[in-house]
């Protein structure tokens, strides 16, 4: 279990701190998201708070996730939902966005605290290959999304505070839950191991092994993996969110052993894409 509830309020506080410090022109700064500036990302963050409270706490469903017949159809629907909201929020002032985020992100944390972390979540974490997820993983996914969008804002401002270990390591730990799913269709022999090391203060080491034709996390064979990849923490979050092409990040990672096996990590995504 990855328990992010203790750090979640601090992440929310940092978001309010940075938003309240923005000058009028800062809201229009471009971000790593091609179509969104800082104000657009803030509007999206508000939307995610309101949607989770509407569906989870209030039990109000407008759309049924089962209506979609493919992953691509679901992603297309979510992308349109996000774009429509962001476009509508362009008419709101930054002050109103801040006031609403402060109110509803606190209500969302209160809602999360009421839940049993081991009950089944309303929505599975699809990027980790889950058909169903426990609530703790769903909450962790929500943390990772909010960390990511706040980091996109801060990157546009050249602010590094979210790369501190207390905020960034949980994001990396959550993102790495996509690792076995990423390798689901990768050819390898039973017993082959892959080791991933994120290098930096907030980093860590993760190892998966193929057994019985399935990849799972392991602490075995970490000293002699078939493939090993080192990734600089400065670039890891961009890789795992599709914010940079792996070819453009080649100076930030090193591969040892089986290149084809290790390089699949660079394609791993811990967001809905």
Averaged pLDDT of the chain: 92
Burial level of 137, CB count in 10 A (0-12/13-18/19+)? buried
The whole-number average pLDDT for the span 238-244 is 94
Which among 16, 10, 157, 164 has a CA at the least distance from the CA of 97?
A: 16
The whole-number average pLDDT for the span 61-78 is 67
> Which DSSP category does 243 fall into?
S
Cβ atoms of residues 23 and 39 within 8 Å? no
How many angstroms separate the first and last alpha carbons of the chain?
25
- Cβ-based neighbours of 187, under 8 Å, separated by 6 or more: none
All structural domains of the chain: 8-158 (1.20.120.450), 178-267 (3.30.1050.10)
Supply the pLDDT for residue 154: 98
Cβ atoms within 10 Å of 244's Cβ, excluding its own: 16
Supply the pLDDT for residue 17: 97
- Whether pLDDT at 116 is above 60: yes
Cβ atoms within 10 Å of 31's Cβ, excluding its own: 21
Residues in the chain: 273
Residue 126: strand pairing partners: none
Confidence of residue 64 (pLDDT cuts 50, 70, 90): low
Cβ atoms within 10 Å of 160's Cβ, excluding its own: 12
Q: How many angstroms separate the CA atoms of 42 and 94, rounded?
A: 9
Least confident of 77-81, 85-89, 186-190: 77-81
Which among 133, 108, 136 has a CA at the least distance from the CA of 11?
A: 108
Model pLDDT for residues 166-209, shown as the tens digit of each residue? 999 999 999 999 999 999 999 899 999 999 999 999 999 999 99
Supply the pLDDT for residue 125: 93
Q: To 10 degrees, what angle do helices 8-20 and 135-156 make?
A: 20
What separation in angstroms does the CA of 241 have from each of 34, 185, 273?
13, 20, 9
Model pLDDT for residues 5-59, shown as the tens digit of each residue? 999 999 999 999 999 999 999 999 999 998 999 999 999 999 999 999 999 999 9
Cβ atoms within 10 Å of 26's Cβ, excluding its own: 17
**Which of helix, strand or coil describes residue 214?**
strand
- Whether pLDDT at 238 is above 80: yes
Supply the pLDDT for residue 67: 64
- Whether pLDDT at 4 is above 80: yes
What separation in angstroms does the CA of 77 have from each of 89, 144, 168, 197?
19, 21, 29, 35
Cβ atoms of residues 273 and 242 within 8 Å? yes
Q: How many angstroms separate the CA atoms of 183 and 60, rounded?
A: 36
Supply the pLDDT for residue 29: 97
């Amino acid at each position: 279990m990855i328990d992010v509830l203790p750090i979640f309020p601090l992440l929310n506080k940092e978001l309010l701190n940075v938003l309240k410090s923005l000058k009028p022109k800062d809201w229009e700064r471009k971000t790593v998201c091609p179509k969104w500036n800082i104000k657009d990302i803030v509007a999206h963050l508000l939307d995610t708070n309101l949607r989770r409270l509407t569906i989870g706490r209030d039990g109000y469903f407008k759309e049924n996730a089962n209506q979609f017949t493919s992953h691509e159809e679901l992603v297309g629907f979510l992308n349109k939902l996000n774009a429509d909201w962001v476009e509508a929020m362009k008419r709101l002032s930054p002050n109103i966005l801040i006031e609403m985020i402060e109110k509803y992100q606190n209500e969302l944390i209160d809602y999360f605290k009421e839940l049993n972390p081991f009950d089944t979540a309303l929505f599975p974490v699809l990027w980790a290959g889950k058909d169903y997820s426990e609530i703790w993983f769903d909450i962790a996914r929500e943390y990772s999304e909010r960390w990511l969008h706040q980091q996109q804002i801060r990157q546009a401002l050249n602010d590094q505070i979210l790369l501190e270990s207390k905020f960034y390591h949980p994001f990396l730990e959550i993102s790495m839950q996509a690792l076995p799913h990423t390798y689901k269709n990768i050819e390898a022999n039973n017993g082959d191991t892959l080791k991933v090391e994120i290098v930096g203060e907030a980093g860590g080491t993760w190892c998966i092994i193929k057994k019985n034709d399935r990849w799972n996390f392991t602490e075995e064979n970490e000293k002699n993996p078939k493939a090993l990849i080192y990734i600089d923490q400065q670039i890891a979050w961009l890789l795992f969110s599709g914010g940079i092409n792996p070819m453009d990040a080649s100076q930030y990672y090193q591969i040892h052993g089986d290149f084809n096996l290790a390089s699949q990590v660079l394609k791993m995504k811990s967001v809905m894409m």
